Amino acid sequence: MSDENVPVLVVGAGPVGLSAALFLGRHGIRATVVEKRSATSRLPRAPGLQARTMELFRAAGIGKEIRALEIGDSHRFFEGGILRVNTYSEIDDAVVLEAPSLDGPEISPERVMGCGQDRYEVVLTEKAVEAGATVEFGQRLVAVEQDDEGVTATLEDIGTGALRTIRARYLVGADGASSTVRGLLGVDRTGLGTVFNALSIYFRAPELERILADRPFILCYATVGGTMTGLSRLHGCDPWLAAPVYHPDRGETPADFTDERCVAIVREAAGKADMQVEVMDKVPWEGAQLVAERFRVGRVFLAGDAAHVHPPAGGFGANTGIHDAHNLAWKLAAVMRGWAGDDLLDSYHAERHAVGSAMAEQAMVRNRIRHGYADDAIRAQMVDDIIITLGYRYRSGVVVADDAPPVLTAPLTLAGEPGTRAPHVWLSTVAGRQSTIDLFWSEFVLLTTTEDTGWAEAAGRAARAARVPLRVVRIGPGGDHTDPDGNFTKAYGISVRGAVLVRPDAFVSWRSPEGADDPDRVLADVLGAVSGNGPVAAVSSS
């Protein structure tokens, strides 16, 4: 007998685990989150939130709360790109290493923002609990066993040493790069391993703001003295974050970085020997590239750094993990509510492993460029950030598509193709303007026009037969929404007689540019495939 029974157990209360609990709760599934730390993060890590991540928070109903954490207009710092200088005092002579494209009003209703993990984890915890989750700190996972019916986890209370067991239908391992869950499952990882070592120095230096002359940037690398020191700008300047690289192969260790040495490093990088510097904290870390061979093992799933870890170049880490959580949450909810088959859960690995691997490769390309190890061939492999963050493609057994282009396909194409994020188009409603992105959360949505001659009615019959939640949205005069700019059909690649099926996570499952002779049969087959249930008998329209 287990001490407790819960629907889903999430191990790890970082951005990924908390997001998973929030998303599950918004789908009506209660999650219990356990974390070995004593509280949420106190350090401003992972400070860049991508436009797609903000879309997910928007869909989950907390977009305004997260946006409220932004200090001023952080967007201008993203527009400054990635810089390299000799010292920060020579900021006027900075070389632009990268000028990434990150968002745009024609692509998304949201835009990137800067905010440290120490602030948004607090909101994620609060909102996850409001959505029905339980979050427990000071709990260490020590064992995992699973069978055909569920997972049994053994936890140790770090304060008392007491052990207890929790029985869950499913377990999500979101416990970081050194994941206990992954280790207990025996899942191997492939990749380059550790590619560099760095030390995050959190410090206060009021004069640095004047030295930088309000120059906007995401990161600025100082190369004075042969040591590369990156300075982050996104989360603000109280404290600042600088990260010098160190070399264990030369005998260097984190213990060598006394407060006095850290002050000297910051002063040297700033180019001002007498600058007042107060060290607040120091955290050593590894820049590594490793991807787990499996993201699903039975009833256990890996997400975030537990599944894929890569250098921070590009800021893909926490964002990619939050996207993992979003992909997994609606699928777990669908299966637990009884309207989807196990093949839908298999698609989590198929879709997110490919994306995680691609992210890791792109992070390494950027890492080589920034550290001066890239030749023309390496630079040619770099894909624009907006493709990586908003334009990645899914291919799995639950996406009905005729072809299989690369996960990252340049140039950015969001044109209603199956496997891509549904295009953003502004629509009009009685309540005002609404993005198509706001239409998707808890059910499949069939988009068609008011000139459709068969899809809408057939969708209702097919959904009832398949017992899959499906909402039809007709766009046009007299429909559910109007298209004031006339962009809908072009954006989604259909005629006025076509239809597009979009998943709860806003990714296109299937598309028919035109009408069909037997829409009932077509949609019966499609709904069976995209829900992981297999073929469903069509219902006659007569």
C-alpha distances out from residue 450 to 455, 456, 480, Å: 10, 9, 9
Average pLDDT over the chain, rounded to whole?
Answer: 93
Is residue 342 included in any domain, yes or no? yes
pLDDT in tens, 242-280: 888 888 999 999 999 999 999 999 999 999 999 999 999
Q: Strands 229-232, 296-297: parallel, antiparallel or unpaired by DSSP? A: unpaired
Tell me what pLDDT residue 541 has.
36
> Dihedral sign, CA of 301, 304, 306, 310?
positive
380 and 471 share a domain?
A: no
Q: Is residue 212 part of a domain?
A: no
Residue 234 lies in a domain: no
170 among known catalytic residues: no
Answer yes or no: is 347 within a domain: yes
Q: Are residues 326 and 444 in the same domain?
A: no
484 and 440, same domain (yes or no) = yes
pLDDT in tens, 316-330: 889 999 999 999 999
Last residue of a domain, one of 344, 371, 390: 390
Three-state secondary-structure class, residue 291 = strand
The continuous run of DSSP H or E covering 139 comes out as strand 139-146
20 and 148 co-located in one domain: yes
Look at residues 170, 163, 121 and name the one whose alpha carbon lies nearest to residue 139.
163
Let me know if residue 204 belongs to a domain.
no
Provide the pLDDT for residue 220: 92
Amino acid in position 277: V
Average pLDDT over residues 206-229: 88
On whether both 302 and 181 belong to a single domain, the answer is yes
Least confident residue range of 107-116, 229-238, 249-258, 297-306: 229-238
Q: How far apart are CA 229 and CA 231, in angstroms?
A: 7
467-502 pLDDT tens trace: 999 999 999 999 999 999 999 999 999 999 999 999
Residue 120 lies in a domain: yes
At 80-135, the pLDDT tens digits run 999 999 999 999 999 998 888 899 999 999 999 999 898 999 999 999 999 999 99
pLDDT score at 236: 67
Record the pTM.
0.94
Tell me the residue range of the domain where 139 lies: 4-69+116-187+293-390
Q: Are residues 51 and 160 in the same domain?
A: yes
Report the pLDDT averaged over residues 286-315. 93
Amino acid of residue 22: L
Q: Is residue 91 part of a domain?
A: no
Q: Looking at the structure, tell me whether residues 464 and 524 fall in a common domain.
A: yes
pLDDT at res. 491: 97
Q: What is the CATH number of the domain that holds 59?
A: 3.50.50.60
Which of 390, 417, 445 is at the close of a domain?
390
Residues in the chain: 542
What is the distance between the alpha carbons of residues 296 and 332, in angstroms, rounded to a whole number? 12
Flag whether 273 is in a domain: no
What's the pLDDT score for residue 534?
82
Which listed residue (88, 170, 202, 221) is catalytic? 221
The helix or strand, by DSSP H or E, that contains position 460, with its residue range, turns out to be helix 455-466
Task: Please tell me the predicted confidence (pLDDT) of residue 542.
Answer: 28
Query: Given this model, what pLDDT does residue 71 score?
Result: 82
404 pLDDT band, cuts 50/70/90, is confident
Overall number of domains in the chain: 2
Q: Write out pLDDT tens, residues 443-469.
A: 999 999 999 879 999 999 999 999 999
Percentage of the chain with pLDDT > 90? Answer: 77
Same domain, 11 and 140: yes
444 and 378: one domain?
no
Please report the pLDDT score of residue 540 as a whole number: 37
**Which of 346, 370, 390 is the endpoint of a domain?**
390
Mean pLDDT, to the nearest integer, of 48-73?
94
Instruction: Answer yes or no: do 437 and 366 share one domain.
Output: no
pLDDT of 535: 64
CA distance 426 to 447: 14
24 with 161, same domain? Answer: yes
Q: What is the CATH number of the domain that holds 461?
A: 3.40.30.120
- Based on the fold, state whether residues 384 and 307 are members of the same structural domain: yes
Strand partners, 227: none
Instruction: Tell me the C-alpha distance between 25 and 146, whole Å.
Output: 23
pLDDT value of residue 213:
87
